[in-house]
Amino acid sequence: MAEANFRAGQIDQARVYAGDLERHYPDYLPGKLMQVQINLAGGDPKAALLGSAQLLDRITKATPDRDTPPQMLADLRANTLVAHGSAALQLRDAKTARQDFIMAHDAAPNSTDIYVNLASVALLENKPDEALGFYNSALTIDIANFNSLRGLISLYATRNQLDQAHARIDQSLTAQPNNASLHFLKGQIYGFERNAAGAENEFRRALEIRTIWRPIRRSALCL
């Protein structure tokens, strides 16, 4: 319930369920990670930084058992490093954030989110070329990764290189022409160009795709 409310954006309600989880299962490590993530989403990076540091210490001392097998501990460590780095990033501590994300990348090298986080660190350090490299690394894993493409578009817009933004989105659209998110991002590029007609066409296409595919997905869930 805590995770369901968290994913739905109901942070206060998620916090209540996470508190209940903590009271009933004080040694359950995933519950402590959930509290860290709630603090991050709730705009309290200091609490998230402290909580994730304490959790990392507990994970280091933990031994695998029936309730926390080795893979769960490894995943918890990677996710906690990301949370600690994200909190540090919100507090503009680029050095700590970079260290955390690099260690998380070593544990989960195919995570696109970690590359996006490293790009955010590079931008904080005023290293846009490095940020581009991280975004492109994420796109080699997932050619249509929304956060990577959105970051690239914003970076190209600040450099007045919207032709390159179009080229990158078009490359992804060639691979996934019916991806609504890609059409939405294409519309954003037209918006940066103040091309209202082009933006409207892309946004309408995104809505059409979502309207067509949503009932199919719901039917599949009911099977």
pLDDT for position 213: 53
Domains recognised in the chain with CATH numbers = 1-93 (1.25.40)
Tell me the helix, strand and coil percentages in the chain, rounded to 5: 80, 0, 20
CA distance 27 to 44: 23
Map tokens 């490359």 to a residue. Answer: 171
CA distance 197 to 174: 21
pTM, 2 dp? 0.85
Local confidence pLDDT in tens for the 223 residues of the chain = 999 999 899 999 999 999 999 999 998 999 999 999 999 999 999 999 999 999 999 999 988 888 778 888 999 999 999 999 999 999 999 999 999 999 999 988 999 999 999 999 999 999 999 999 999 999 999 999 999 999 999 999 999 999 999 999 999 999 999 999 999 999 999 999 999 999 999 999 999 998 865 543 433 333 3
pLDDT for position 219: 34
